[in-house]
């Protein structure tokens, strides 16, 4: 097991190096000079310009810049935002809990609805219920979520007035210092009446939008895993000894069908983070996705570079953890 | 009738149905897939005949009918069946021309990543010796890297570097979808390489290039065709998302995602401006996905999702 772990860890190192290299090169290929972005339109004296260039290390050879960049990254320095003059890491860390909260809520919805739906479809295979659920699943999987979000805003938010359509909480009614960065938990800690409910209200629509694609994928995956398991001998044995159907399907079969489903859940992290860019933009959710899009609009390339680097690192680490857990659960993978 | 008697009397062995006929009989079993195929055919026809079918030019502005309602709503007219947008351009005509843009993006991305994917995937497996191993490791690592960056984030990065445009959207989305093809080709080529018929071909002295392209590739083609079909719908979705973020096709191109972005500010006053472009994306993507599922079931019984 230790050997497997080390081998798997070693495999991610080249990926990280390549990631550093690619983001470094990509940003240097961007048309326009970062110094110009910083000084703005008015222009400055050549001496000041040279000073800025020196400050940003742009007067050194490219390979030296790359070494500096790598060195800084290894020390946790992801650069400084041109727009706010803050460390990219600091900005990212402040915004990430919002994205994490949204993604977690979306995943919770997807799992809580997707697994029962997939199980039901498999148990009633070929029936109208099955066909309807799978039809919905294809629709969810094909959904342009930015449009889905706008539709929900239009109907649930505006026309029926059921939920708020932007932000994380009503800032006029409730104010408290962030403690954990998770609005729902912070609201609960603040003890203000109605704050938790308001935060959950704000969370509902964005989580629905972001959860749609994972929900469809999980439902479909659960269904096919269940169908496979339902044909196994031990399920037949369970049926033969007279167990009620819900016990056979819900306990004996589901527990075994869940192994591939768990992997799929883990692998949805990339989908969630990509979806967060769109969802946060639509719902003015102050997370890293919205921040990334704003960085492009402001031509804040260090922020973009650092953001891409950080988001990708998270995906790499989570995928690694999923692999390791899977190896832990399933010895056939570990020794394969 | 006469034919079957002839066969019976001459004692010939009945022939297997042609591969195409076998495929079709399996494909038509799946009603969803057939429905998808019909819708895709309609969208393709509309895209090809856009100039003839569309009632107006996509960028013609009717200044006296800005944000007109669709025909069934109050104040709607048959002149603009689905209404007009904020510049008085006919919605239906823009949607029809948008089909052309979206299909063009989908097919270009699919074509580019298919061809490059096959070349890289076969290069991973087919090159001899130490060089081959090095190439394999390099390509596999690069694909891992691309897969590690969330698709839309990578596409955004590429577009930020190259600048937003229709052509760069195609480049960005092709890069994002490339690893799926490379991995598929590499995996199926590796599986085929050990089989007897490949060894036989090698023994017979078939050269490496021919071996890879003429012997190995055709036998691993089925999953690749399925991936290609589903890849078109993915590409359309990604491109529309980029367009929606203002990083894709630029105005005045009638692209569905860009149209949605333009319509966003009228979400309260003119909901249909937001409704139609999204519906067009959804219907097209669902149809292609249903068709792709049918392809999978028909081409590869092993992959059939029971």
Q: Answer whether B191's CB lies under 8 Å from B253's CB.
A: no
List Cβ<8 Å contacts ≥24 apart for B69-73: B69/B270, B69/B272, B70/B272, B73/B272
Question: In degrees to the nearest 10, what's the CA dihedral of B130, B136, B141, B147?
Answer: 180
The helix/strand count (H/E) of chain A reads as: 16, 0
Nearest CB to A150 within list B141, B144, B267:
B267
Instruction: Determine, for residues B257 and A146 on separate chains, whether the beta-carbon distance falls below 8 Å.
Output: yes
**Encoded tokens for A216:** 């469809």
Task: Note the pLDDT of residue A37.
Answer: 63
Contact A296 B145 (CB under 8 A): no
**Burial of B127 by CB count in 10 Å (0-12 exposed, 13-18 middle, 19+ buried)?**
middle
Q: Residue A281 and residue B245: Cβ atoms within 8 Å?
A: yes
B159: left (phi over 0), alpha (psi -120 to 50) or beta: alpha
B233 chain-A contacts, CB cut-off 8 A: 142
Contact: A270, B289; criterion CB under 8 Å: no
Q: Count how many pairs of residues, chain A against chain B, have C-beta atoms within 8 Å.
A: 128
In A, which residues are within 8 Å of B267 by CB distance? 150, 153-154, 158
Q: How far off is chain A from B19, nearest CA to CA, in Å?
A: 28
- Spatial CB neighbours of A114, under 8 Å, sequence gap ≥ 6: A214, A215, A216, A217, A218, A219, A222
Sign of CA dihedral A110, A204, B234, B170: negative
What is the interface pTM, i.e. ipTM, of the complex? Answer: 0.86
CA A307 to chain centre: 13
Does A150 contact B240 at a Cβ distance shorter than 8 Å? no
Q: What is the pLDDT of residue A333?
A: 58
Q: Which 3-state string (H, E, C) describes A110-172? A: HHHHHHHHHHHHHHCCCCHHHHHHHHHHHHHHCCCHHHHHHHHHHHHHHHCCCCCCCCCCCCC
Contact A144 B156 (CB under 8 A): no
Q: Which residue has the tokens 């997939």?
A: A118
Q: Which residue has the higher pLDDT, B112 or B127?
A: B112
DSSP lists the bridge partners of residue B84 as B90
B132 class by beta-carbon count within 10 Å (0-12 exposed, 13-18 middle, 19+ buried): middle
**Shortest distance, CA B161 to any CA of chain A (angstroms):** 5
Nearest CA-CA distance, residue A30 and chain B, Å: 5
CB neighbourhood size of A191 (10 A): 9
For the segment B53-109, what is each residue's pLDDT rounded down to a tens digit? 888 888 888 888 888 888 888 877 888 889 888 888 999 999 999 999 999 999 999
Q: Is A318 on the interface with B (CB under 8 A)?
A: no
* Cβ pair B275:A151 closer than 8 A: yes
Res. B3: pLDDT tops 60: no
List the pLDDT tens digit at each of the 336 positions of chain A.
Answer: 677 778 878 878 888 888 888 888 887 777 666 666 666 656 677 777 777 777 777 777 778 888 888 888 888 888 888 888 889 999 999 999 999 999 999 999 999 999 999 999 999 998 999 999 999 999 999 999 999 999 999 888 888 888 888 888 887 778 777 778 888 888 888 878 788 888 888 999 999 999 999 999 999 999 999 998 888 888 888 888 888 888 888 888 888 888 888 878 877 888 899 999 999 999 999 999 999 999 888 878 888 888 998 998 888 888 888 877 777 766 665 554
**Distance between CA A280 and CA A278 in Å, rounded?**
6
Mutation to test the B interface, candidates A15, A124, A125, A142, most B Cβ within 10 Å: A142
Confidence at residue B306, expressed as pLDDT on a 0 to 100 scale: 40
């Amino acid at each position: 097991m230790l050997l497997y772990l080390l081998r798997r860890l070693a495999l991610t190192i080249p990926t990280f190096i390549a990631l550093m290299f690619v983001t470094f090169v990509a940003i240097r290929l961007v048309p326009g000079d970062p110094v110009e972005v910083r000084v703005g339109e008015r222009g400055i004296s050549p001496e000041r310009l040279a000073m800025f260039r020196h400050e940003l290390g742009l007067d050194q050879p490219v390979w030296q810049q790359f070494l500096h960049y790598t060195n800084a990254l290894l020390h946790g320095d992801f650069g400084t935002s041109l727009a706010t003059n803050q460390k990219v890491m600091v900005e990212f860390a402040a915004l990430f809990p919002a994205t994490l909260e949204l993604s977690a809520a979306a995943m919770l919805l997807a799992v809580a609805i997707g697994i029962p739906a997939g199980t039901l479809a498999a148990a009633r295979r070929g029936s109208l219920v099955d066909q309807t659920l799978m039809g919905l699943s294809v629709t969810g999987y094909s959904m342009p979520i930015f449009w889905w979000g706008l539709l929900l805003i239009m109907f649930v938010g505006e026309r029926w007035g059921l939920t708020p359509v932007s932000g994380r909480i009503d800032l006029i009614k409730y104010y408290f210092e962030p403690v954990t960065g998770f609005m729902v938990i912070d609201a609960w800690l603040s003890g203000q009446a109605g704050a938790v409910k308001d935060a959950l209200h704000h969370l509902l629509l964005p989580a629905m939008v972001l959860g749609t694609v994972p929900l469809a994928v999980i439902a479909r995956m659960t269904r096919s895993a269940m169908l496979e398991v339902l044909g196994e001998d031990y399920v037949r044995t369970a049926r033969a000894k007279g167990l009620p159907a819900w016990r056979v399907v819900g306990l004996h079969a589901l527990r075994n069908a869940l192994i591939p489903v768990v992997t799929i859940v883990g692998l949805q992290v990339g989908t969630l983070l990509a979806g967060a860019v769109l969802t946060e933009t639509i719902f003015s959710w102050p997370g890293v996705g919205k921040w990334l899009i704003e960085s492009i609009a402001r031509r804040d390339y260090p922020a973009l570079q650092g953001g891409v680097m950080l988001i990708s690192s998270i995906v790499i680490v989570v995928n690694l953890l999923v692999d390791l857990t899977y190896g832990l659960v399933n010895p056939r993978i570990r020794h394969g | 009738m006469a034919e079957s008697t002839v066969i019976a009397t001459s004692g010939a062995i009945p022939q297997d149905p042609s591969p195409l006929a076998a495929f079709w009989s399996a494909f038509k079993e799946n009603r969803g897939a057939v429905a998808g195929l019909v819708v895709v055919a309609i969208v393709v026809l509309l895209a090809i005949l856009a100039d003839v079918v569309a009632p107006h030019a996509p960028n013609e502005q009717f200044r006296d009918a800005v944000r007109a309602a669709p025909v069934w709503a109050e104040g709607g007219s048959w002149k603009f069946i689905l209404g007009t947008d904020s510049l008085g351009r006919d919605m239906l005509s823009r949607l029809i021309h948008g089909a052309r843009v979206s299909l063009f993006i989908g097919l270009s991305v699919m074509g580019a990543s298919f061809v490059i994917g096959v070349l890289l995937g076969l290069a991973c497996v087919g090159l001899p010796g130490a060089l081959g191993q090095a190439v394999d490791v390099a390509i596999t690592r690069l694909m891992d890297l691309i897969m590690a960056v969330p698709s839309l984030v990578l596409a955004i990065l590429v577009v930020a570097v190259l600048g937003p445009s229709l052509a760069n959207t195609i480049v960005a989305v092709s890069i994002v979808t490339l690893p799926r093809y490379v991995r598929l080709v590499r995996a199926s080529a590796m599986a085929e390489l050990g089989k007897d018929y490949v060894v036989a071909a090698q023994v017979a002295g078939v050269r490496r290039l021919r071996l890879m392209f003429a012997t190995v590739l055709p036998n691993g083609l089925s999953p690749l065709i399925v991936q290609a079909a589903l890849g078109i719908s993915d590409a359309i979705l990604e491109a529309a998302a980029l367009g929606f973020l203002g990083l894709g096709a630029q105005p005045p191109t009638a692209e569905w995602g860009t149209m949605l972005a333009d319509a966003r500010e009228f979400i309260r006053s003119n909901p249909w401006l937001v409704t139609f472009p999204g519906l067009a994306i959804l219907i097209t993507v669902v149809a292609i996905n249903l068709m792709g599922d049918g392809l999978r079931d028909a081409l590869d019984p092993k992959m059939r999702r029971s």
